[in-house]
Amino acid sequence: MSTKLTLFMVGPAKSGKSAICNYLAELSDNSSASEYHPTQGVRILEFERSILADAGRANGKPKAVTVAVELWDCSGDPRHNFFSSLKETQIAIFAHKPACPPQMIPKLRLANKSLARAAQAYTSLDFEPETIRTEFDNLIHNAYTAYTESREREEQSIVA
């Protein structure tokens, strides 16, 4: 049975959340569509990613793991505040479209303490879109590692 991770894509309206979700789920690209279609409520995309998981305590070799991903493409409408309902075991990806050219983008300072150390990546579907997938796989890798480590700790506390 593969591990399943649930991730939420949240951020302001028209910041490219749905476009990124489609790209990650390898759905047909509609980024050239002239009309904007705001996401109503939430749209759930399911797909799999293969990652190279770190070696656990038991053996020394990294192994290829398939992770089932449930990606929630949330509405940017502030009336649907999905972020406040996130649990510790879930992950948020923020999409934001800065109003300046890519080379001028400053490092964002995230006010929320628990997000201060969050990884940031500057990407665009027009410019090196593969970076989006690479960063997403890094996120999946980190989440998978945290999940397996917490499971190992739980198992050990039962045995002890």
Cα–Cα distances in angstroms (integers) from residue 88 to residues 7, 83, 134, 139, in the given order: 11, 11, 23, 15
The nearest distance, CB 70 to ligand GDP, in angstroms, is: 17
Closest CA to 85 of 6, 3, 5: 6
User: Is 18 an interacting residue with respect to Mg ion (CB under 5 A)?
Assistant: yes
Distance in angstroms (rounded) separating the CA atoms of residues 104 and 146: 34
Residues 39-98 touching ligand GDP, rule: CB under 6 A, are 39, 76, 95
- Which of 15, 148 has the CB closer to ligand GDP? 15
One character per residue 5-34, x = contact with ligand GDP (rule: CB under 6 A): --------xxxxxxx-----------x-x-
Number of residues near ligand GDP (by CB under 6 A): 17
* Residues 116-135 interacting with ligand GDP (rule: CB under 6 A): 124-126
Query: Beta strand pairing status for 91-94 and 63-74?
Result: unpaired
Nearest to Mg ion of 26, 155 (CB atom): 26
How far is 17 from 95, CA to CA, in rounded Å?
6
Q: Which stretch binds Mg ion (CB under 5 A): 3-11, 14-22, 49-57, 118-126?
A: 14-22
DSSP summary character for residue 17: H
- Least distance to ligand GDP, CB of residue 108, Å: 16
Contact residue for Mg ion among 39, 124, 142, 148 (CB under 5 A): 39
- What Å distances lie between residue 109 and 99, 119, 120, CA to CA? 16, 11, 10
Contact partner at residue 160 from Mg ion, ligand GDP, none, CB < 5 to 8 Å by partner kind? none
The nearer residue to ligand GDP, 77 or 149, going by C-beta atoms, is 77
The CA distance from 4 to 99, in Å, is 35
